[in-house]
Amino acid sequence: MREAIEKIVTKIAPGELPVNAATIIRAVQAREETMPTYLGRGLAVPHGRLDGIDKPVLAFARCAEGVPQEATNERAELLFLLLTPTGLARIQPRLLADIAGLIESDYVTERLRKATTPEEVIEAIRAGQQVALD
């Protein structure tokens, strides 16, 4: 997962990151060491709290071969990297719960696997939110 976190962050254009990449990588990897973020069914949500950001940031990545998960035979194929402001600690569990709800729908996870644009990812997430409400 450490490598996956680094790859996700370094694939994002520096101008789109809320703080420098090294700060994000350190924060998320440190959090991952204390609290693994694999949720099951191929979904992981590495996350971290950061000083210097004023709103949550979410990035999405796929890994066709899957990222091996320690102590299991499972692999994370869908990854959401979540960054939340340190001062808004209560929002992080809520966002994690929303993302975790996505794996309840095979329809949504299939859309995430096939999405080719950021807009398609957003639409899949919205569909997942609607499924949770129904």
Count structural domains, the chain: 1
Q: How far is CA 65 from CA 62, 90, 112, in A?
A: 9, 33, 15
The 10 Å Cβ neighbour count of residue 18 is 15
Element (H, E) at 28: helix 21-34
β-strands 75-85, 47-50: how paired?
parallel
Query: What is the residue range of 98's domain?
Result: 2-133
Residues 47-80: tens digit of each pLDDT = 999 998 999 999 999 998 999 988 788 999 999 9
**Which CB contacts under 8 angstroms, 24+ apart, belong to 33-38?**
36/1, 36/69, 36/70, 37/1, 38/1, 38/69, 38/72, 38/74, 38/76
Average pLDDT, the chain: 89
Angle 112-125-51 (CA atoms, 0-180°, nearest 5)?
105
Q: Can you give the CATH number for the domain in which 111 is found?
A: 3.40.930.10
Q: What is the pLDDT of residue 28?
A: 96
92-124 CB burial, b ≥16 within 10 A, e <16: beebbeebeebbebeebbebbeebeeeeebeeb
Which range has the worst mean pLDDT, 9-13, 27-31, 129-133?
129-133
Q: Whole-model pTM?
A: 0.87
Which range has the worst mean pLDDT, 80-84, 88-92, 110-114?
88-92
Copy the structure tokens of residue 19: 């703080």
